[in-house]
């Protein structure tokens, strides 16, 4: 089943107002000739209103790097899904490996955040992946399977028709290491097969992205795999030419 590709650029803790203007301008021009691919950028929170305005009436999508599990209340420092939607955020990352590692986010909290995003009409990109120790111990499927299962248990099988999953092996993020196309495909196939057991139609529509040192030089080979539907791009999304090269792959 043909699935529209998605390339998501996660700027992490990088950026400035000047960078936003330059990047969005370059991307708007460069994306005019690209078809069959959705492209979205995920700047830090302070730049969401600016990027939303700069990207208005263009094909460039906008996402946030995190979301609160709460809709409102006394939760200082958190941002709700309704707030994100006000600024044209169509996507939000849930459970990025850095949130799991540095902020102790559990599988259950990630699932709660995904539910909060759906409740607000924002598409959650649910990040899953294993550490190097877990891969070397042969626990990749166990770890990734548990992360996916927590989401299914919280949201229900039918909700998987409204989410995106990003497989990001922790050992390949910011290290320069990349899973081989075969390694990445194997995990993507594993994820899709889990959903197929619940609903083959939903599994066929589910977009599963790969994240982990994707560059324009290796993107085409990765994206050629049958179960890899695009990428969650980190450092390479900070340079317009490189990011456009990935989108074109």
- 3 state DSSP class of 33: coil
Q: What angle do CA 44, 57, 81 make, to 5 degrees?
A: 40
CA–CA distance, 228 with 152 (Å, rounded to integer): 20
Indicate if 130 belongs to the active site.
Answer: no
The DSSP line for 60-121 is EEEEES---SSSSSS-TT---HHHHHHTT--EEEES-HHHHHHH---HHHHHHHHHHHHHTT
- Selecting among 130, 168, 221, 241, the annotated active-site residue is 168
Indicate if 168 belongs to the active site.
Answer: yes
Q: What share of the chain is helix, strand, coil (3-state, %, to 5)?
A: 50, 15, 35
Kindly provide the b/e burial profile for residues 174-189, where b requires at least 16 CB atoms within 10 angstroms of the residue's own CB: eeeebbebeebbebbb
CA–CA distance, 40 with 206 (Å, rounded to integer): 17
CA–CA distance, 194 with 205 (Å, rounded to integer): 13
- Selecting among 78, 96, 136, 242, the annotated active-site residue is 96
Total length of the chain? 249
Catalytic residues: 96, 168
């Amino acid at each position: 089943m043909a699935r529209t590709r998605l390339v998501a650029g996660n700027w992490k803790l990088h950026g400035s107002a000047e960078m936003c203007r330059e990047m969005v301008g370059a991307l708007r021009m460069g994306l005019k000739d690209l078809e069959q691919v959705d492209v979205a950028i995920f700047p830090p929170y302070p730049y969401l209103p600016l990027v939303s305005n700069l990207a208005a009436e263009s094909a460039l999508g906008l996402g946030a790097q995190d979301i609160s599990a709460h809709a409102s209340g006394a939760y200082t420092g958190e941002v709700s899904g309704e707030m994100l939607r006000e600024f044209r955020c169509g996507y939000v990352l849930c459970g990025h490996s850095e949130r799991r590692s540095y902020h102790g986010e559990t599988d259950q909290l990630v699932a709660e955040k995904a539910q909060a995003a759906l409740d607000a009409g924002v598409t959650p990109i649910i990040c899953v992946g294993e550490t190097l120790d877990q891969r070397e111990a042969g626990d990749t499927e166990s770890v990734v399977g548990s992360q996916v299962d927590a989401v299914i248990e919280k949201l229900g099988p039918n909700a998987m028709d409204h989410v995106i999953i990003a497989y990001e092996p922790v050992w390949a993020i910011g290290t320069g290491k990349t899973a081989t196309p075969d390694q990445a495909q194997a995990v993507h196939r594993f994820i899709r097969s889990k959903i197929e057991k619940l609903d083959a139609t939903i599994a066929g529509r589910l977009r599963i992205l790969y994240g982990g040192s994707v560059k324009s030089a290796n993107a085409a080979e990765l994206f050629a795999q049958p179960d890899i539907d695009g990428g969650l791009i980190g450092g390479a999304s900070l340079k317009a030419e490189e990011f456009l090269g990935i989108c074109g792959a």
